[in-house]
Amino acid sequence: MFNRELITRFLLRRPAALTSRTARWAVLALTGIGAAFLVWSAVIHLELWGDGYRDISVIGPLFLVQGTACIILGVAIVAFRWLALIAAGAVAGVATAVGLLLSVYVGLFGYTESLSVPYATLSLAVEFTAAFVLLAAAGLLALGRARPRADRAAPGLPQAEWLRTLGR
């Protein structure tokens, strides 16, 4: 039914797997830019948390969680560059922006926000930009042509030697 190894390999795909050098560099650039925007969103939320949002029931702890989680996610995206992490970063950007929009137009956990408060529009722009850029990186990485695994041998090791080190 599902090939667990194949799915895992796909989700852990990195830019080095792509055949095109241009695609690899584009994914690397988009990943770094998207992760930076994700961290920027986190910094905004942590600053607002420190400026008084911490006293708002449910919303305050969510600001702290968003700030902490997005910094960790941004660093992990840059460190590992796995497709699954890049996609998770895009989802985090959209989820954060949608949370703000819900709190403005519907109310969230009994709290209603306004787009006229400090950082609201900047936060939306930063979060949607992070999501868009990371989604573009994930799309390139997911849809780009991958090199055969044997072609990704470690430098300096003959192909057969590299395969033996993997226990094949």
Q: What is the mean pLDDT of each run of 10 residues along the chain (168 residues)?
A: 90 95 97 98 97 94 97 98 98 97 95 93 98 98 87 53 49
pLDDT attached to residue 151: 53
pLDDT attached to residue 86: 98
**Angle, vertex CA 135, rays to CA 25 and CA 1, nearest 5:** 100
Q: Are 127 and 97 in contact (CB under 8 A)?
A: yes
pLDDT attached to residue 23: 96
Residue 34: count other Cβ atoms within 10 Å of its Cβ.
Answer: 27
Q: Are 4 and 133 in contact (CB under 8 A)?
A: no
pLDDT attached to residue 5: 93
Q: Are 31 and 124 in contact (CB under 8 A)?
A: no
pLDDT attached to residue 115: 94
pLDDT attached to residue 168: 43
